[in-house]
Chains A and B, each alone.
Chain A
Amino acid sequence: NAGVTQTPKFQVLKTGQSMTLQCAQDMNHNSMYWYRQDPGMGLRLIYYSASEGTTDKGEVPNGYNVSRLNKREFSLRLESAAPSQTSVYFCASRDSLSSYEQYFGPGTRLTVT
């Protein structure tokens, strides 16, 4: 099992460009999450999806959209990137029926110039 995978690993965007960060998990988990991690700050929740077909805002949703395409995949879209969105983005998943433990992907390092 690959666990939680994220693509791309690194990305550089210019201000105003758009892109989608992809996340997939092969553990049949119901819940999926997008976080951002910035220097000197803890991980912050951007959006989460408690089940296929549902999404909810987290702590810092502005400037992002998400899609829970199916049970496996949860994508994060930046419609018009801004330098303030320079960060490391982590996707995570959880089997909401049996555990509160979250499994994290390897992260995507995004730089917006």
Chain B
Amino acid sequence: KNEVEQSPQNLTAQEGEFITINCSYSVGISALHWLQQHPGGGIVSLFMLSSGKKKHGRLIATINIQEKHSSLHITASHPRDSAVYICAVRRGSEKLVFGKGTKLTVNP
């Protein structure tokens, strides 16, 4: 079993829909990261959180440490949100363990 599991693997939505991507992990962590990989391949960091909730624009990330679960929400989705969203957990100070990613396609 992978240490980090994401669901769904693929997600197709219509523009304007509310989107949720889930991440579950099986080990103790220092923090959890959400990243976005653009269709061209570039990877950018979206959030890092160790408790509660963070919001940036239309993106919201939550984490429940007791349940070992995090969600990434996108409100009012747009075609430019189409990307692969990656969950990663940090153990210690240097190492990240990554999920396989969720490929999101938002159709106009």
Residues on A facing B (Cβ under 8 Å): 31, 40-45, 48, 50, 56, 58, 88, 90, 92, 96, 100-104, 106-107
Enumerate chain A residues within 8 angstroms of B97, measured Cβ to Cβ.
42
Query: Taking A42-B4, A42-B86 as contacts, is the C-beta distance between A103 and B45 under 8 angstroms?
Result: yes
Enumerate chain A residues within 8 angstroms of B45, measured Cβ to Cβ.
101-103
Query: Taking A101-B48, A104-B42, A107-B41 as contacts, is the C-beta distance between A42 and B94 under 8 angstroms?
Result: no
Enumerate chain A residues within 8 angstroms of B33, measured Cβ to Cβ.
100-102
Enumerate chain A residues within 8 angstroms of B86, measured Cβ to Cβ.
42-43
CB pair B43 A104 closer than 8 Å: yes
CB pair A31 B98 closer than 8 Å: no
Residues on B facing A (Cβ under 8 Å): 2, 4, 30-31, 33, 41-45, 48, 86, 88, 90, 93-101
CB pair B48 A100 closer than 8 Å: yes
* Chain A: minimal CB distance from B87 (Å): 9
Q: Please provide the 9 A-B residue pairs with the shortest distance between their CB atoms, ordered closest to farther.
A: A42-B98, A104-B43, A43-B98, A101-B45, A107-B41, A42-B100, A42-B99, A106-B42, A48-B94
* Chain B: minimal CB distance from A43 (Å): 4
* Chain A: minimal CB distance from B38 (Å): 10
Complex-state Cα separation, A106 to B39, whole angstroms: 12
Enumerate chain A residues within 8 angstroms of B90, measured Cβ to Cβ.
100
CB pair A50 B100 closer than 8 Å: no
Complex-state Cα separation, A44 to B100, whole angstroms: 10
* Chain A: minimal CB distance from B47 (Å): 10
Q: Would you mind naming 15 contact pairs between A and B with Cβ atoms under 8 Å apart?
A: A40-B100, A42-B86, A42-B98, A42-B100, A42-B101, A43-B86, A44-B98, A45-B95, A56-B94, A58-B95, A96-B93, A100-B31, A100-B33, A101-B48, A104-B43
Enumerate chain A residues within 8 angstroms of B96, measured Cβ to Cβ.
43, 45, 102
Enumerate chain B residues within 8 angstroms of A43, measured Cβ to Cβ.
86, 88, 96, 98
Complex-state Cα separation, A96 to B94, whole angstroms: 9
Enumerate chain A residues within 8 angstroms of B101, measured Cβ to Cβ.
42
